[in-house]
Structure 1
Amino acid sequence: MQLLTFLGVFNLETTQFTWQEKPLLENPSPYVVEALLKFNEIQKISVFLTPEAEQHKNWKGLQECISKHKKISIEPVPISSKQTEEELWNLFVKVVDAVPPNSEIIFDITHAFRSIPFLAFLVTAFLQKARSVTVKSVYYGAFDRNQPETPIIDLTPAIKLLDWLTATEQFITTGSSINLGNLLSKIQQDFSSQDRQKITPPRLLEKLGTSIQDISRSLELIRSMGVLKETAKLQKIPAQELAKEVGYFAKPFELLSEQIQQSYGQFALSDPEKLENSQSSLQKQFLLLRWYVKKEQGTQAILLAREWLVSARCVAKGMDYLNKGNREQVEDELNQMKGSKPHLTLATARTKDDKITLTWSNLIKYRNDIAHAEMRRNSAEATQLQQYVKNKLIQEIETVFSEFTV
C-alpha cells in the first residue's frame, strides 16, 4: 500500500490523533502520517514538497519519525509552490507519475494547501479510471488547537460523488444506467463501519440497481420485449419505501430517480407478448424507437425500425406478429411490393402501400449496410446513416402506420 501525503512550511503542533473516537498514539505527535500507520498497512510513503518545504524542519522531523519503521520507505516528490495553470498541470503529472498502475493507494490531504485538496480528488478519479488504481481511503486530520484530540476523518465516500457524476453523465448522454445500477447494487458493501452497523441496511436498492441494469442491457442489445417487461418490473418496486432508502443511502441518485422513471417508465408493459396486447406493445416499441433516435443510437434504431415495420404490417392484417411464419409471409409481401416498383420515389408514392414500400426500401438498404459492417462496395457513410435516423426514420414510419405510433 502506498500513502500519498503533502507537507508544508507552517508550524505543526503536537496532538493526539484519533480514529473512530479511539486514540492512536502512545504520545502526541505533529505528524498525521504516524497515526495513519497505526491502522493502515503502508509500505511506501510519497511526500509532495515545495522547495521551501523540503528545507523545512517539518520534512526532517517526518523523516526521523518514519525511520523508526524499518519496512517503510519514504521519498520526497518535488512540486512547485506556484499556483499557475501550468504548475497545477505539473502537479497533476507528478501525482500520476508517483503511482504505478494497478496499485493500491491512500491519500492524506491534512497538510495540503490552497487548491491541492481539490486537485487531489480529481487526480484520484483519474487514477482509478485510467491506471486501474485502487484508492483505499482519503484521510483528513481535523486539527483544532483548542481541542486536545484531532479526529481523522475518512473522506473516501466523497470520491464516490465522482463515480456518481460519471454514471450520471453516461445515463443522460446515452440512456445507459449500467454504472448507476452498479453503484446502487454495491451500497450494501458500505456497511462496514461501526456507525452503519447500527442502522437497518437497505432492502430495495440492490433490487433497483439490478432492475435498471437489466433494462440497460436489453436496450443495448435491442431486446424490445425485455425492455417492456423489465420496465414493468421496475414500476412494481414500492415507490414510497424506495424513496426513503434512496434519500438515506444513495443521495446522489435522488436527483436522478425521476429522470429514470420518465425515461424508462414509458416502455412498461407486463405482458407484451399476449395477442390482446399487440397494439399496446407496438406503441411501446415505437416509443422505444423514438428513444433510440433521441439518444443518437442509430444502429439500434434502424434494426428495431425494420422489425417494427413487419410487426405493424402483421397486426394491421390481424396476424400474430411474433409468429415466425407470419413474419416471413409479410416480409415476402413487402419485398414483392419493393420489387414491383423499383423506381418509386417520395414524389410518386401515392397510395399507403406505395409509402410502405418506399419506407421498407429505405429500411432494408440501411439495415443491410449496418448488418454487413460495410463489407460491400458503395456502402453508405456513417454521417448519411445518422442523418437518415435523425431526420427521416420516425417521420416515414409515422406516415404509414400512424395508428401504432400514438
Structure 2
Amino acid sequence: MSRKVFLSFLGANNYKECVYTTEGKESRVVKYVQNAVIDLLASDFDVYYIFCTEKAYDTHFASLQAESNKKLDVVQIPEGFSESEIWTIFSSVFDKLEVGDEILYDITHSFRSLPMLGITLLQYAKFLKDIRVRGIYYGVFETLGPSYDIDNRFPDPKDRKVPLLNLTAFSLIQDWTIAANNFIKFGNAQMMGELTKEGLTPILSESKGKHMEAATLNGLSIQLQTFAEEHRTNRGRRIIEGKAANKAVEYIDNIQTYSLIPPFFPIVNYVKSTLQQYSDNSIKNIFFAIQWCIEKELPQQGFTQLQEGIITILCDKVGLDYTMESNRNLVSSYLSVRFFKPEEEWKGELIQETYKPYVHLLNEIDKIKDLASVYDSISKKRNDINHGGFTESAKHFSFMNDLKKYFHEFKQILNLEY
C-alpha cells in the first residue's frame, strides 16, 4: 500500500505566528507553516520529513516539533552552497521516497535553488519511483508586508491571515507537456488517459463548471487514445470516418471556453494542430495516417496503411465500394498480376465477368503500370516486416527510408497534393 508523505524544508529565519488559509479553511495560530499545512492538508499522512541544515535544526526544529501535532522526521542536509552540496540535497530527498508514494510538498521556506530542485526531483521520482504528487503549497507570508512592521500592523497573530497557494498545477502541467509530446512524437496517448484518471483539479478553474470541464478533458483523452490506437492497429475504415480526430478537435474547441490555467491552452492547441487536417468520411484521411506513421516512425503500420490506401483510392476511382473484400481483392490482384503475368494465368476476381468493366477502368488510369510497380515494392516490404525478417534480408534501417520513398512516388504518380 502506498505511503502518504509530507516533504518540507525548514529555514533559519525569524518566523512569526500567523494563521494560514486555503480553500476556505483556516489553520490554528502557528509559527511554522509546516504545521499549518499538515493540519489543513496532511493530517492523515504516514510520514513527515523535515529537511534542514544544521543551523536551521539548532534554531527551530525543537520549537517546530513542540508546536506540531505529529511526529516529525528530521533529515539534515548541507547548505547547498556548491553544486556538490545541491546534488547531496537532491539525493537526500530522493532516497527517502519509496515506490508509489503520494507526496505533498511544502516549498514555503525552501531557500535559493531548492524550489526548482524540488520540482525537478518530483518529476524525476515520478519516473523512477512512480510517485504521485498530491499537492505543492507555498505560504505567502510576504502578503502581510515587511517583517519588521508586522507586529505593529497586526499585534494579534489571529489577524495575520496568510494564504497558502496551491502550486500543484506546475507539476501537472509538466506531466501534460510530456503526455502531449508522447502523442505528437510517438503517437501514444496512454499518459493523457492516466492523467485524467488521476485527477484534474489543479488545472481546473474555481468556477461552478468544474464537473463539465473535467468531463470535457476526460472525453478529449478518450478520443486521443482512440485516434492513436486506430492508427497503431491499422483501423482503416475508422481512420477514413475520422470520428476520433474530429471529436477530439471539438473537445479542444470547447476547452477554449473554459477558465483553465493559461499554460494548458497551448498544449491542447498543439495537439489540435496534428488532428484538424482529418475530415469526416474522407479517403484523404488514409494518407494523413500514412504521414502520421512516418512521423512517428511506425514502419509496419505505415506500409500496411500505404498498401491498403492504394487499394482504397483505386476502388474509389473506378466506383467500387472499398469496404467490400471482393472489390479489394480485385484491385490487389490487378496491381499484383496485370503487368507481371500473362492473361492466361489470371484468376479469381480478375477474370470474373462482372469485374471486367472495372478492369477496363483501371487500365485507363494514367501511369497505372508505374503504380503497380510501386505497389509490388511495397508488398515485398510489408511481407518482409510482417514475417519478422525471416523471409527477406532488408536491413532494419531501410524500412523508414523506403516507406517515405514509396509514399512520395505514389503521390507523384497520382498527382496527389496531400
Fold match, TM over 0.5? yes
1:231 Cα offset (Å): 2.7
Q: CA deviation at 1:189?
A: 5.2
What is the correspondence of 1:1-40 to structure 2 with a 5 Å cutoff?
A: 1-25=4-28, 28-39=29-40, 40=42
| Counterparts in 2 of 1:294 and 1:201: CA distance versus 1, 3 Å | closer
| Structure 2 unmatched runs, 5+ | 155-159, 343-365
Question: Deviation of residue 359 (structure 1)?
Answer: 1.0
Q: Distance in 2 between matches of 1:220 and 1:74?
A: 50
In structure 2, the partner of 1:154 is 166
Q: How has the CA–CA distance of structure 1 residues 154 and 237 changed in structure 2, closer, same or farther, with 3 Å as cutoff?
A: closer
Question: 1:396 aligns to what?
Answer: 409
Distance 1:19 1:238 in 2: 31
Match of 2:87 in 1: 89
**Aligned to 2:320, what secondary structure does the other structure show?**
coil
Partner of 1:347: none
Indicate yes or no: 2:112 matched with 1:98.
Answer: no
- Show CA shifts across 1:337-388 (max 9, x none): 47549xxxxxxxxx934422321222112111221233x1543222111221
Q: What's the TM-score once normalised by structure 2's chain length?
A: 0.78
- TM-superposition CA deviations, 1:7-29 (whole Å, max 9, x none): 1222222223333454322xx33
Matched, 1:59 2:70: no
Q: Quote the RMSD (CA, aligned, Å).
A: 3.1
Give the counterpart of 2:183 among 167, 171, 178.
171
* 1:304 Cα offset (Å): 0.3
Contact 1:267-1:285 within 8 A present in 2 as well: no
State the Cα distance separating 1:238 from its structure 2 match: 9.5
Inter-CA distance 38–187: structure 2 relative to 1 (3 Å threshold)? closer
Amino acid paired to 1:221:
T
- The answer on 1:48 being equivalent to 2:61 is no
Q: CA deviation at 1:3?
A: 1.3
Q: Check conservation: 2:140, 2:162, Cα contact below 8 A.
A: yes
Structure 1 unpaired stretches of 5+: 273-280, 342-350
Which moves more between the two structures, 96-105 or 258-267?
258-267
Q: In structure 1, the residue corresponding to 2:30 is in which secondary structure? A: coil
SS at match of 1:362: helix
Q: Secondary structure at the match of 1:4?
A: strand
What amino acid is the match of 1:113? F
Would the aligned equivalents of 1:5 and 1:46 in 2 still touch at CA under 8 Å? yes
Match of 1:364, as an amino acid?
S
Q: Does 1:244 align with 2:257?
A: yes
2:125 is aligned with 1:116: no
Partner residue, 1:357: 372
Following the alignment from structure 1 to structure 2, what is the Cα–Cα distance between the partners of residues 236 and 46?
45
- TM-score using structure 1 length: 0.80
* 2:78 alignment counterpart: 80
CA distance in 2: counterparts of 1:198 and 1:317, whole angstroms: 51
1:255 aligned partner: 266
**Cα distance change of structure 1 residues 170 and 37 upon mapping to structure 2, 3 Å threshold:** same
Letter in 2 for 1:164: W
Contact 1:298-1:389 at 8 Å conserved across structures: yes
Separation of aligned partners in 1, 2:243 and 2:38: 52
Say if 2:225 is the partner of 1:213: yes
Measured at CA, do residues 307 and 82 of structure 1 come closer, stay the same or move farther in structure 2, by a change above 3 Å? same
Q: C-alpha separation between the residues in 2 aligned to 1:250 and 1:138?
A: 16
CA contact (8 A) 1:186 1:206 kept: no
Q: Give 1:230's match in structure 2, choosing from 240, 244, 265.
A: 244
